[in-house]
Amino acid sequence: SGMHYNFGQFLDRFYLSRVGVRVLIGQHIMLHHPQEGFIGIIQKECQPAQVCMHAVEDARRICEMSYGIAPEVELEGATDMALPYIPEHLHYIFFELLKNSMRAVVERHKDKPHLIQPVSVVIADGDEDVAIKISDKGGGIPLSGMERLWTYTFTTAGNTKEKLQQITQQPGRQVMAGFAHGLPLSRIHARAFGGDLHVMSMQGNGTDVYIHISKLGDRQVPVP
């Protein structure tokens, strides 16, 4: 027909719907198997800093498996704050973004590991939302890449076909990056409950990712 079809928008809607269905199913199941401190899958006092540290451990482990080294992560700001949230969603976002930052930093300085700088995570407790900034000195993303960042087809981590071959040849081995879904899916998880995710990058320096998490109180948020 010659019509241009936006496959990215279709995947955005599909994944947003899938996240919503998973939340409803998970909430229904966990309400019948209650855990202390939780209402279904929502943790009443979810601490972003604590979730972040778990994600740091997971991301560093994969980075060390892939490169033999992993940068440190410095966590600062409102590290004691807590809010009602789904820790599983928060962990997914942190994990994907930290993997990206660690890979960028290590690949930039793989020949001079003494130049590897830590990844910075800052948590700010606002009135309406919690803002989190993840910053790295991994060299940044070119402007042409920024325009394609959310397309599900753009990756800065090499050939996706090669990554699939690695998994096939070495079952059980985790691949650091290269499937182009981590960043757009992280934004989907943030947006599912009224938050958002933005990327600012300076090629030649590094990348800052801003995550906004809506405080799930009595304010209405769009649920997919």
Of 183, 112, 92, nearest to 141 by C-alpha is 183
Q: Which residues contact 101 (CB under 8 A, 6 or more apart)?
A: 71, 119, 134, 135, 136, 138, 207, 209
Please write the tens of the pLDDT for every residue from 12-50.
999 999 999 999 999 999 999 999 999 999 999 999 999
SS3 223: coil
DSSP label of 115: G
174 pLDDT tier (thresholds 50, 70, 90) = low
In angstroms, the CA 90 to CA 71 distance is: 21
Enter the pTM of the model: 0.88
Inter-CA distances, 18 with 12, 81, 107, 185, Å: 10, 29, 34, 11
